[in-house]
Amino acid sequence: MISPVSAMPRSAHRHRPEATPYVDLTRAEWSALRDKTPQPLTAEEVEKLRGLGDVIDLDEVRDIYLPLSRLLNLYVGATDGLRGALNTFLGEKGSQSGTPFVIGVAGSVAVGKSTVARLLQALLSRWPEHPRVELVTTDGFLLPTKELQARGLMSRKGFPESYDRRALTRFVADIKAGKDEVTAPVYSHLIYDIVPGERLTVRRPDILIVEGLNVLQPALPGSDGRTRVGLADYFDFSVYVDASGEDIERWYLERFKKLRQTAFHNPSSYFRKYTQVSEQEAVDYARMLWRTINKPNLTENIAPTRGRATLQLRKGPDHTVQRLRLRKL
C-alpha cells in the first residue's frame, strides 16, 4: 500500500524540492543542445523569413532554432511510434496512417510569432522524415469586419469572441484526421479584413504549424455545459513567444511607424489616413490601439495561456531569445 503523505517523516517534507513541470534553460544551455544539427539556411534565406522589425540572424537561428528543430524532429519520430502502438491496438477499428504532427505557436500581437513560425517551417521541412510543412495563421478565422461591426466587436479584434472558433478547431481536426484537402479563409492586414472569396488549401502535410494569439486558449463549454475538444487538444507540441509588456508595446509602435512609411501608402490600406497626419498623431493612434485592444487581450487572454505551452521562448529587448522553459512532465 502507498503510505499517505501525512505519514511521511517531517524531514522528507521539508527537503523535497517543489515539483515543477518545467526545466529552465539559459540561452547558452539551450544552444548546446543542438548537438550536430546542421545549419541548413543561408543569411539570405533568413532575411526573407524575418518579419518587419524583427532581428533574427544566423546566430539566432543556430543558437535557438536549430536546437528546437532537433527537438521537434525527435518528437515527430516518437509521436509516430506512439501512433504505431495505437494502430496495432486498434487494428481494423479505426487505425490511421499519415497523421500530421501539429505545432501551435502562441503569443501577443507584435511579439514576432509569425517570424518564429516561418523559421520553424523552413527548418523542419529540411528533415527528410517530414518535408511537407504547412503554416496557417488563425487570422483567417477572424470574423469578417461586417460581422464584427454587427456584433459590436471592432474594438475586440483578436479577443476570443472575434474568431469563428468552431470553424478553426474543425479546420485543424480535419487536417489531423487526414482529409485530402482542407481549406480556410484568408485574412489581409492590408485591408484589415477577410479577403472575400479567397481560400487557403492544405493537402495532407507531414507537419502543420498553427500560429495565432489564441491557439492555447481553452475551448468554450458547449450549450449543454460540457467541455469540448478545443484547438490545443490537437497539438503535439506548442511554443509560446514571450517578452516584457513594455518591449512588445515598443515593437508594436515601431512597426506601426515603419508600416506608415511603407504598406500604409497602398491605396487599399485600411490605415492609409495615418500617412496623411503627423508622425505624432499616428503614434498616438497606434498607442491607443495597443492600450485599448492588444494590451488588454495580452493580459486577459493570451498571457494566462503561457503555462500550457510545451516550450516558452523569452525574448529580451533586442528580440533575441534569452531564456527558455521546457515542459518535462
Ligand X SMILES: Nc1ncnc2c1ncn2[C@@H]1O[C@H](COP(=O)(O)OP(=O)(O)OP(=O)(O)O)[C@@H](O)[C@H]1O
Ligand Y SMILES: CC(C)(CO)[C@@H](O)C(=O)NCCC(=O)O
Rg, the chain, Cα only: 22
Considering only residues 10 through 69, tell me which ones interact with ligand Y, judged by CB under 6 A.
none
**Which grid coordinates belong to 171?**
479546420
CA distances from 48 to 64, 214, 271 (A): 18, 26, 24
Residue 109 marked as a ligand binder: yes
Our finding on whether 111 is near ligand X (CB under 6 A) is yes
Our finding on whether 260 is near ligand X (CB under 6 A) is no
Give the SS3 label for residue 324.
strand
What residue is closest to ligand Y based on CB? Answer: 158
What's the min distance (Å) between Cβ of 13 and ligand Y?
A: 47
Q: Contacting ligand Y (CB under 6 A), which of 293, 311, 321, 324? A: 293
Residue 108 marked as a ligand binder: yes
Q: Contacting ligand X (CB under 6 A), which of 67, 100, 104, 112? A: 112
Our finding on whether 157 is near ligand Y (CB under 6 A) is yes
Our finding on whether 158 is near ligand Y (CB under 6 A) is yes
Give the SS3 label for residue 201.
strand
Residue 104 binding: pick among ligand Y, ligand X, none (C-beta 5-8 Å cut-off by kind): none
Instruction: Write the single-letter amino acid at 126.
Output: R
Q: Give 2's contacts (C-beta < 8 A, 6+ positions apart).
A: none
Taking the least distance from each CB to ligand Y, the nearer of 213 and 313 is 213
CB 307 within 8 A of CB 122: no
**Which grid coordinates belong to 177?**
484526421
What residue is closest to ligand X based on CB? Answer: 114
Cα gap 39→33, rounded to integer Å: 14
Our finding on whether 283 is near ligand Y (CB under 6 A) is no
Residue 98 marked as a ligand binder: no
Taking the least distance from each CB to ligand Y, the nearer of 157 and 325 is 157
The number of residues that bind ligand Y (CB under 6 A) is 8
Considering only residues 265 through 284, tell me which ones interact with ligand X, judged by CB under 6 A.
271
Taking the least distance from each CB to ligand Y, the nearer of 109 and 172 is 109
Taking the least distance from each CB to ligand X, the nearer of 52 and 186 is 52
Which segments of 210-317 does DSSP mark as H helices, in order?
245-261, 279-289, 295-297
Per-residue burial over 42-75, b if 16 or more Cβ lie within 10 Å, else e, is eeeebeebbbbbbebeeebbebbbbbbbbbbbee
* Site residues for ligand X per CB under 6 A: 51-52, 107, 109-114, 189-190, 259, 263, 271
